[in-house]
Amino acid sequence: MGLFFMKLMWRILPVLSVLVVMGCSYLIWRVKLYQWWNSGHLKRVSLVSLTSLVICFSVLLLLGYSTQSKLPFGSKIHEISAQQQTVKKQKQALEAEKVANEEKEDQIKLQLEAALDLAHNELNIVVINDSVSTLITEEWFSDNQQLIDQLSDVTDREDYMNRFESVREAFLN
């Protein structure tokens, strides 16, 4: 938000400077040169100088908005726009990273659910045949434990830990 107001300031600053100079020139005319104006001596000189002053400052104002100008207005606006683009790209990168992390989490959860489904099916086979499982081993538990450790959400991690502990008790005890 600060970059927006800085950019706005650099867009308004030249206009304000021209208005201040014009206001000061009017005050000088009103205070110092008004009597000479009424006598008619300075009418042409004042009109020409005031017109040239307005034209000069208007040209400076327009030239100041150019990015190649030596005056800082246009180059400052260009710099602030570049900063805004950088901030926008950083936000997009953070959002993309967040989406990638969420997809990774979902993939891990799908793998863990598939492992739990496999354990459930294997438990049915072991109970019916009254045999020992060859699929559900300590290595299987350690592989799934590594997947559980990759989860970032603590409640999900604890939930899967508890579910796999109950599977461990059913198979290895």
Tens of each residue's pLDDT in the chain, 173 residues:
677 777 777 777 777 777 787 788 778 777 776 766 677 666 677 777 777 877 887 777 777 666 666 666 667 777 888 888 999 999 999 999 999 999 999 999 999 999 999 888 888 777 777 777 778 888 888 898 999 999 888 899 999 999 989 888 887 76
Residue 128 vs residues 35, 46, 121, 124: alpha-carbon distances, Å: 117, 110, 11, 6
Computed from CA positions of residues 137, 138, 142, 145, in that sequence, does the dihedral angle turn out positive or negative?
A: positive
Residue entry with tokens 């009017």 = 26
The sign of the CA dihedral 127, 129, 131, 132 is: negative
Quote the CA–CA distance of 119 and 164 in Å, as a whole number.
9
pTM: 0.53
Domain locations in the chain as residue ranges: 2-93, 95-172
Neighbouring C-beta atoms of residue 25, cutoff 10 Å:
17
Q: What are phi and psi of 151, to 5 degrees?
A: -70, 140
